[in-house]
């Protein structure tokens, strides 16, 4: 999984969105925040497709966590 660092200007509250993310989102996006994360997805995408994508991301995060755990144990 690729991770991007997003810098936010504290005064203007503007963020630079890397072109790879912009290519997915295009000009219109929706965001759903909670206390520790924000889900950003392209406007017009079905909730079903967003949930499928979330499952893939979750699986990848769990896999990375397991690999980190194994590397610490060895």
Q: Measured over all CA atoms, what is the biggest interatomic distance in the chain, rounded to whole angstroms?
A: 46
Higher pLDDT, 48 or 73: 48
> Is the pTM for the entire model greater than 0.85?
no
pLDDT at residue 73 in the model: 81
Domain edges within the chain: 8-73
Task: Using alpha carbons, list the distances in angstroms from residue 69 to 10, 13, 65.
Answer: 35, 36, 6
User: pLDDT class for 1, splitting at 50, 70, 90?
Assistant: confident
Q: State pLDDT tens for residues 12-64.
A: 999 999 999 999 998 999 999 999 999 999 999 999 999 999 999 999 999 99
Alpha helices for the chain (secondary structure H): 19-25, 47-73
């Amino acid at each position: 999984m690729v991770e991007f660092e997003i810098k936010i200007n504290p005064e203007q509250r503007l963020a630079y969105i890397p072109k790879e993310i912009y290519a997915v989102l295009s000009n219109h996006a929706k965001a759903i925040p909670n206390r520790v994360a924000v889900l950003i997805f392209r406007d017009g995408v079905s909730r079903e497709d967003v949930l499928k994508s979330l499952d893939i991301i979750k699986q990848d995060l769990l896999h990375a966590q397991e690999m980190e755990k194994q590397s610490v144990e060895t």
